[in-house]
């Protein structure tokens, strides 16, 4: 009985000691404190996605709280975003006619480059970040409205993933 209590007590101490140095969040400090997010550019045929992508990247970084946003002249680093690919693929077809799509998977790809403004050191270059979402076609088979409404969702997801790329371990 006494040995069981001793063993239980030692197990509890070992578990607490193992958790003493645990910290939630990114594992290392970033090599920069302030960041300039350049307006996204587009080489892909995606309607009006540059502004929402830029805005959602900035919002995600502000919510993360590990870096501050600054103008280009005062920032330690610059993040450049180029939208390189946008495509849709059929996810489901109509039961009555398999040539009619009922839903699509929309995919947006960005190439990201992060550079130290003081030294010119490239932290990463042309790193691809991809986001996808599914959208449904209305009964009228008009895809333009659902696609237009899906762009902000796609931009938000891409912005979150770009933020994870910037503040994560490289």
pLDDT digits (tens, 9 = 90+) for 129-167: 999 999 988 766 677 788 888 999 999 999 999 999 999
65: left (phi over 0), alpha (psi -120 to 50) or beta: left
- What is the rounded distance in angstroms from the CA atom of residue 65 to the CA atom of residue 76? 16
User: Is 78 within 8 Å of 117 (Cβ atoms)?
Assistant: yes
Mean pLDDT in residue range 4-22: 62
pLDDT above 70 covers what percent of the chain? 82
pLDDT above 90 covers what percent of the chain? 60
pTM for the complete prediction?
Answer: 0.79
In tens, the pLDDT along 49-65 reads 999 999 999 999 999 99
């Amino acid at each position: 009985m006494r040995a069981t209590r001793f063993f239980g007590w030692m197990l509890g101490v070992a578990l607490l000691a193992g958790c003493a140095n645990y910290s939630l969040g990114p594992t290392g400090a970033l090599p920069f404190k302030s960041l300039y997010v350049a307006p996204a550019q587009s080489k892909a045929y995606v309607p009006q996605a540059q502004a929402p992508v830029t805005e959602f990247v900035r919002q995600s970084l502000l919510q993360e709280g590990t870096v501050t946003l600054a103008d280009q002249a005062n920032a330690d680093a610059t993040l450049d975003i180029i939208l390189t690919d946008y495509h849709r693929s059929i996810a489901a077809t109509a039961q009555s006619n398999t040539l009619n799509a009922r839903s699509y998977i929309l995919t947006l790809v960005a190439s990201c480059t992060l550079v130290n403004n003081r030294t010119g050191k490239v932290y990463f270059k042309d790193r691809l970040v991809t986001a996808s979402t599914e959208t449904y076609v209305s009964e009228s088979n008009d895809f333009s409205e659902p696609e237009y409404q899906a762009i902000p969702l796609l931009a938000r997801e891409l912005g979150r993933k770009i933020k994870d790329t910037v503040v994560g371990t490289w």
